[in-house]
Amino acid sequence: MRHPVTDKHTVQQLLDATGFAILATEGAGQPHASLIAVTPFQGWRQLVFATYRDTQKYRNLLSNNRVSVLVDGCKASRGDEQAGFVVTAVGHAQDMPADQHPAAMQAHLQRHPDLTSFLQSPDCVLVGVVVEAYQVVRSIDDVTWWTVDDLNTP
């Protein structure tokens, strides 16, 4: 079993290196996957993305806010010892609270400046995934789960 510091570093490195992820939602018993531009916020505790309100993913979030976000580490690892790993964040999504919205918006724009006009649209909403746990998969036989609190331990 891996040590939380190792996986904390893996998770943080991947979140810092990637800009995109796959969001999995569910609505009326039907799964739905969406490519999203993602930004880590508050370390690894939240993942921020934007969407239009009139989308399947947002309608799904309104009826069931439980989500998972898969981040592919294959390209980010570039052949080092972690080649082929993926990280999945599990948690719940919510519209960014007013007190966090300006900082989250600034972080998302800094990471994705090409989304400026999209984020300024009146139909666009900034969503935060409050992460409860991460699954780190390096191979079929090397899978670990860490809660956010586990990753906070030194």
User: Given a cut of 70, is residue 80 above it in pLDDT?
Assistant: no
Q: Would the pLDDT of 146 be above 60? A: yes
Q: Are 124 and 108 in contact (CB under 8 A)?
A: no
pLDDT band at 73 (very low <50, low <70, confident <90, very high): confident
Rounded to the nearest angstrom, the gap between the alpha carbon of residue 10 and the centroid of all alpha carbons in its chain is 14
| Domains of the chain: total | 1
Average pLDDT, the chain: 88
Name 129's Cβ contacts closer than 8 Å, sequence gap at least 6: 23, 46, 47, 48, 49, 67, 69, 89, 91, 92, 93
Print the domain residue range for 137.
Answer: 4-152
List of E strands, 28-80: 30-37, 39-41, 46-52, 66-72
pTM, full prediction: 0.88
Question: What's the pLDDT score for residue 5?
Answer: 57
Q: Say what the pLDDT of residue 131 is.
A: 96
CATH value at residue 141 = 2.30.110.10
Cα separation of 8 and 111, whole Å? 21
**Of the candidate ranges 7-21, 31-45, 78-92, the one whose mean pLDDT is the lowest:** 78-92
